[in-house]
Homo-oligomer: A and B are copies of this chain.
Amino acid sequence: MAGDRMAAGGEAVEETRRFAPRFDAAGLITCVTVRAADARVLMVAHMNAEALRLTLESGVVHYWSRSRGTLWRKGDTSGQLQHLVELRVDCDQDVLLARVAVGGDGGACHTGRATCFYRVVGRDGATLTFAED
């Protein structure tokens, strides 16, 4: 957060109507992807400028796979295409929020689960339990 930063035209970045995503040093921006129907967080991944452009142009979410070093249209092999309902950006424009409708069986995680966030961290900071939902 940097409330004193100005966007083009002298507007504070938090109030501007100009989309100016802030990619990191690797050219990536974090994207939180949620199910539009119930706001459930499905996954967190990254986009580069091309993935972002393709997402907006096609209406299907694209990411940049850091592990594979490739552009990645989520669902191409699994059928779990993420149809973009709405894309948001946060106050300082360094995180995206994609609200999606998921195709195929509705899942998002490569383990086969609906969400990547299926484990709860114990207050001991050492153990995990599997969530029931």
A interface residues with partner B (beta carbon < 8 Å) = 1-3, 14-19, 30, 32, 34, 38-41, 43-44, 52-53, 56-57, 59, 67, 86-92, 95-97, 109-111, 113, 116-131
**Do B119 and A41 have beta carbons less than 8 Å apart?**
no
**Do A19 and B89 have beta carbons less than 8 Å apart?**
no
User: Looking at the complex, which one of B3, B43, B96 makes contact with A90 (CB distance below 8 Å)?
Assistant: B43
CA distance A88 to B120 in the complex (A): 4
CA distance A128 to B52 in the complex (A): 15
Q: Which residues of B contact A90 (CB under 8 A)?
A: 43-44, 116-117
CA distance A44 to B41 in the complex (A): 12
CA distance A32 to B16 in the complex (A): 24
Q: Using known A-B contacts A17-B127, A18-B127, A95-B44, determine if residue A89 contacts B1 with beta carbons closer than 8 Å.
A: no
**Do A128 and B16 have beta carbons less than 8 Å apart?**
yes
**Do B128 and A19 have beta carbons less than 8 Å apart?**
yes
Q: Which residues of B contact A126 (CB under 8 A)?
A: 18-19
Q: Which residues of B contact A127 (CB under 8 A)?
A: 17-19
22 contacts between A and B (CB under 8 A): A1-B67, A3-B110, A3-B111, A17-B119, A19-B126, A30-B30, A39-B41, A41-B41, A43-B90, A52-B125, A56-B123, A56-B125, A57-B123, A59-B123, A87-B120, A88-B120, A89-B128, A90-B116, A91-B109, A91-B111, A91-B113, A97-B117
